[in-house]
Structure 1
Amino acid sequence: MASNSTNETRRRYNSIARLFDFFEAPLEKRKFAAWRQMLHREVVGPKVLEAGVGTGKNLPYYHRGLSYTGIDLSPAMLARARERANRGKNPVRLAEMDIQNLALPDNYFDTVFATFVFCSVPDPVAGLKELKRVCKPGGQLLLLEHVRPKGNLQGRIFDLLNPLSVYFLKENINRRTLENLRKAGWSIERITDLSSEVVYFFQARP
């Protein structure tokens, strides 16, 4: 059974699905698109899972010839992703699913990835454990995430602002994603600081 936090997250993304791409368009053009391209250069298959597919912003970067599954908590966001998938050339199986409780088989995917998702997952360690469960031995996890900065002052500022961000946006801006990856049992292979110790690219192995 989904928690109250999970249900509230679903409601929030259902409510903003129509305007989500519009509000993020400036960031997508300036930074996010290039970061997505960088991540997708590391994707290997044949079986790939995108956790938190959202409105399908990563779909244009999917590689031909690979088998993609995309899951998301919000049916309204998935509806936008299906529209985008229907316009594209790469087939993808899309399904409504909670990253914290995946209805997917063990040891199945060669690559699992997510982009700017774990700020909104109520229990990020549970979600990362589920991704590890469905990833093949020898497979990989790829993440783009904004995190709590390392600096004492900047980190404290993010901690102070986080309750406001959670209340209004349902997004945590002070997640300790590196620590959460280790708690979930992932072996960290690569960390790249993309933007002032706030946005990182992570590559990990189960």
Structure 2
Amino acid sequence: MIRNNNEGFIQKRYNRIAGFYDVLEAPMEHMFSKWRRKLLAEASGKTLEVGIGTGKNIPFYPENIELTGIDFSPKMIEITSDKLKKHPRPKTEIIQMDAEEMTFDDNTFDTVVTSCVFCSVPNAVKGLKEIKRVCKNGGKVLMLEHVRSENKLTGKFMDIINPIPLYIYGANINRRTYDNLLKAGFEADQIKVENIWYDIVKIIRIES
């Protein structure tokens, strides 16, 4: 569901680049795939991936989980669905859905996963509130995200050049995701942050 011009703009960008998205992501994939593999191995039970994109995370999940993937780009969903037809995985469902307005019931998932997603969700706090809502009490949220550096010069530089990636494919490189998690209602003592590339790329684990 597209509710405003900003969301429509970003959806169009992701639809446009869907066919060569994996190529664009290749440099980052080379650097961080081992971290994604390690993080996703922690998923358990009924698992939701928000922003599943082209489905590149799917091979990294444990075989015994029940996986639901959502994305608001129909082109991304089409690519992921085609991959699953060629390499079927049991207990996997792919749905076109807006991260800011999920249709799942409260307390549905044991694990919620995001991987470089909250740079592009238009209203990040609203999307994080939805994650908090659909994650079960006692569940966990696993995030691999790039964020704005807290280094004064680096952070300012990221602010200055942010319009470039935002225009090209709808991603903000200067999101303050930890602060947004607090705004979404998560408590500081629930959140554990691990820097894996300077203070820009982080693994964030949350116990809900």
What TM-score do the two structures reach when normalised by structure 2? 0.94
Which blocks of at least 5 consecutive residues in structure 1 are unaligned? Answer: none
| CA distance in 1: counterparts of 2:160 and 2:15, whole angstroms | 27
Give the Å deviation of 1:143: 0.5
Deviations 1:80-106 (A, max 9, x none): 111222233423101000000001111
Residue equivalent to 2:127: 127
| CA distance in 1: counterparts of 2:159 and 2:56, whole angstroms | 29
Q: Kindly report which structure 2 residues correspond to 1:50-129, keeping only aligned pairs within 5 A, or say none.
A: 50-91=49-90, 92-129=92-129
Q: Give % identity.
A: 42
Q: Is the 8 A contact 2:14 2:170 kept in 1?
A: no
Q: Kindly report which structure 2 residues correspond to 1:1-206, keeping only aligned pairs within 5 A, or say none.
A: 2-28=3-29, 30-45=30-45, 47-91=46-90, 92-187=92-187, 188-206=190-208
Q: Is the 8 A contact 2:110 2:139 kept in 1?
A: yes
Deviations 1:98-148 (A, max 9, x none): 000001111010000110001001000000000111000000111110000
| CA distance in 2: counterparts of 1:22 and 1:153, whole angstroms | 30
Q: Is the 8 A contact 1:107 1:134 kept in 2?
A: yes
User: In the comparison of the two structures, how many residue pairs are matched?
Assistant: 204
Deviations 1:156-190 (A, max 9, x none): 11111112222233111100000001111123332
Distance 1:63 1:89, change over 3 A: farther
Give the Å deviation of 1:26: 3.0
Q: Is the 8 A contact 2:41 2:62 kept in 1?
A: no
SS at match of 1:11: helix
**4+ residue segments displaced more than 3 Å:** none
Of residues 169-178 and 79-88 in structure 1, the stretch that sits farther from structure 2 once superposed is 79-88
| CA distance in 2: counterparts of 1:23 and 1:8, whole angstroms | 19
| CA distance in 1: counterparts of 2:41 and 2:176, whole angstroms | 25
Equivalent residue letter for 2:19: R
SS at match of 2:102: coil
Equivalent residue letter for 1:198: I
Which blocks of at least 5 consecutive residues in structure 2 are unaligned? Answer: none
| CA distance in 2: counterparts of 1:180 and 1:205, whole angstroms | 16
| CA distance in 1: counterparts of 2:85 and 2:151, whole angstroms | 44
| CA distance in 2: counterparts of 1:166 and 1:74, whole angstroms | 16
Q: Is the 8 A contact 1:146 1:200 kept in 2?
A: yes
SS at match of 2:206: strand
